[in-house]
Structure 1
Amino acid sequence: MQPHQAFFHEYRMMYRPFINKLNVYLASHQLYSSQWAILRLLISEKSLTLVEISNSLNVEKPTTTRMIQKLIELDYVTTVPGKDKREKKVQLTSFGHDVCKDVQVTIEQFQLDALEGISVEEQIIVSKVLETVRNNLLK
């Protein structure tokens, strides 16, 4: 197997087990990894439109709409008026902020365990490599 083939093979072989195990941890908060991705985005960006969330996560708008609706039902997010009347922004509720703090505590050890034996320097290098691959794919 060529190095480039091995890279993508190993990524694929790691991805599903990671998501499956992450979902086990997130289940105690009534979340899936895709919903957690939205909440993480809202932690850093404060408020975004559905289109901005969809574009940031490279997910179709109808899929984002369904995930946001579930997060609203859980009282993790709410919508507020945007700049014009047609625009709605999604943001974390106070309860949602608390849940996000709990989730971060819940998955911290899981992430550290998954990276066992990998130095911080190696983690930074792999993060930069994956970011470059993602950017190449989005060209």
Structure 2
Amino acid sequence: MDIEQQFFDVYMEVYRPYVNRANRILSTYDLYSSQWLILKDIEKHGKTSAVDVSRRRGIEKPTATKVVKHLLELGLIESSTGEDRRIKYLTMTHRGETLFTEVGTQMNALQREMLGDIDHEALEHLIDALKRIRV
């Protein structure tokens, strides 16, 4: 087996179980990993548009719209119109911030558990290698 093929096989062996475990945590909050990633993006960037979120996350605009709608319905984010009335800006609500902190603690614990005893330097090398993959 080629090393490249081996890399992606191992990556998928880690990715799917991680998403499944994350979804078990998130489902108690009526969330799933795709929604959590958009919530994280809004938390990280502050006031932002759905178009910018979909571009940064690499997801189709209709998918982002559906996820944003769910987050709005849950009261985790709010939408406001900017100077250009065609653009709607998204921000996290107080409820969203509270939930983000609570869920973030659980997600961080899951990630630490899954990474086990991999040291900081090894993680930095893995992060650097993953960032260099062209998609």
Q: Do the structures match in fold with TM over 0.5?
A: yes
Partner of 1:73: 73
Structure 1 residue 128, shift from structure 2 partner: 1.1
Q: How does 1:3-82 map to 2 (within 5 A)?
A: 3-82=3-82
Partner of 2:97: 97
Partner of 2:120: 120
Structure 1 residue 111, shift from structure 2 partner: 0.6
Q: What CA deviation, in whole Å up to 9, does each residue of 1:27-78 have, x standing for no partner?
A: 1221100000011111110021111111111111111111001001100001
DSSP 3-state at the match of 1:90: strand
DSSP 3-state at the match of 2:132: helix
Could you tell me which runs of 5 or more consecutive residues in structure 1 were left unpaired when the two chains were aligned: none
- The one-letter amino acid of 2:21's match is K
Within 1, Cα distance between the matches of 2:132 and 2:80? 35
- The one-letter amino acid of 1:45's match is H
- The one-letter amino acid of 2:74's match is L
1:109 and 2:112 are equivalent in the alignment = no
- The one-letter amino acid of 1:93's match is T
If the length of structure 2 is used for normalisation, what is the TM-score?
0.96
If the length of structure 1 is used for normalisation, what is the TM-score?
0.93
Within 2, Cα distance between the matches of 1:51 and 1:108? 28
Q: What CA deviation, in whole Å up to 9, does each residue of 1:65-109 have, x standing for no partner?
A: 110010011000010112301110111011101110001111121
The percentage of counterpart residues that share the same residue type is 30
